[in-house]
Amino acid sequence: MASALCVLLPLALASCEGPFCEDGFNALLQTEQRYLQRKLDASSNLEAFSGNPVMDDVRSAFQALHADGDIIKIDKGPWSSEGYRSYMPPYGEHIEGIQRLRTPGYFAFSGATAGSADLFLAQLEGSTSGAVGGAAGKVVKRVTLDTVLTHAGGFQVSGDLLAIGLEAQCTPMERTFMTCRKQSEVRFYDVSDPLDPKRLGSFIDRPGQSAGAVGIVQQQNGKWLALVGDGDNNNIDMYVQQEDGSWKLSASWNKGELLINAGVSGGYKSYQSMNLILQQDGKIFMVCAARSSMVGGADYFDLFSVQPTGSGRATVTMVASKHVTCHGCDFGAAGAVYVDSSRRLLGYGSSWLPSASATSLPTPGSTIFVNEF
């Protein structure tokens, strides 16, 4: 694996100190198009939440991910016939994201239908700590997140804090003629009780923009950082929560600015998720999941480092890529990583319905095929 120098992303405190607070970018932050600040009450501040375990060596843990998925079978329950039942392209109603929760034995799935954005909670049977490949479980709860912004995309859970982007739905016809309405919002939920997710007052409003994937991490200074990508993560905005609970846009990045370490192949892809990880020395990494092509493609976890450059921009460097085999699922739907401990990272992939491009295609039915790597 190629080495890379990664620098802590020193995002701004409420006093606005550091490279993200240069005068030129401060002016940009005042524009309606790029930043809409909202005063929120104290209950919207997320500092009461603790994030995922801090890792000793992210790159080593990434390298240790298994290349061949171990199947976890999850019964869809009564929702197998509600909306998420089409096995014909273009798969307009399907699972968009997957996350393993800190509460032992629980997984969460995000979903999109024409009528609602959904969150599904599943509970495993038997051993639920550490690696759980080979286990079985079932969906035990469905939570409707919104009936207007009905596309719930790739999301992340850090500690007991869930961050998810909700977008205006785009039909295949609208996508073909490039007439999709762009409107999105990033919301935050307390999932300490997986059977009773609680929506928090904090949110990020994105008028005129999409939010196909969201990643969050709690930095060394205690401040929460949220990264929000457009449909395929071609553009990423970086926000820091302020003392009053509002979010400040601190930097933006476009895939044309991507740096790639020597020896890393594959290039930037159409990502469906991004998960942020904090390393012990303060460096921030991002793992994204994607399928290289929906027809005849392969599934990949890609690892990036993130650092500021000043003037409201950031540097994103691709430092590693891992090709994996997902049985009965594919990363065109859902892929994610889970920080199991300071030394171990586990990967997951899933789809609500089997894709023709997936390896070892199962028979369509009432089972979600999750893979653990």
**pLDDT by position in tens, the chain (length 373):** 443 333 334 333 334 343 333 343 333 333 333 334 344 343 577 888 999 999 999 999 999 999 999 999 998 877 655 556 554 444 556 778 999 999 999 999 998 877 888 999 999 998 688 999 999 999 999 999 998 888 888 999 999 999 999 988 776 666 666 667 788 899 999 999 999 999 999 999 999 898 989 999 999 989 999 999 987 899 999 999 998 889 999 999 999 999 999 999 889 999 989 999 999 999 999 999 998 876 778 999 999 999 878 789 999 999 999 999 999 888 888 899 999 999 999 999 987 654 444 444 444 457 888 999 9
**pTM, rounded to two decimals:** 0.84
Measured torsion, CA atoms of residues 339, 341, 343, 344, in degrees rounded to the nearest 10: -50
Q: Which CATH class is domain 19-31+40-372?
A: mainly beta
CA dist 162 and 108 (Å) reads 10
Place of tokens 């789809």: 351
At 141, which helix (H) or strand (E)? strand 136-146
pLDDT at 6: 36
Cα dihedral 356, 359, 361, 366 sign? negative
pLDDT at 23: 40
Determine contact, residues 159/102, Cβ cutoff 8 Å: yes
CA dist 267 and 259 (Å) reads 10
For residue 345, the cross-strand partners are 339
pLDDT at 333: 81
pLDDT at 45: 77
Cα dihedral 68, 74, 75, 76 sign? negative
Q: Is the peptide bond before 90 cis (omega within 30 degrees of 0)?
A: yes
Amino acid at 265: S
Q: Helix, strand, coil proportions of the chain in percent (round to 5)?
A: 10, 45, 45
Beta strands in 232-326, from DSSP E residues, in sequence order: 235-241, 247-254, 259-260, 273-278, 284-291, 299-310, 313-324
CA dist 317 and 303 (Å) reads 8
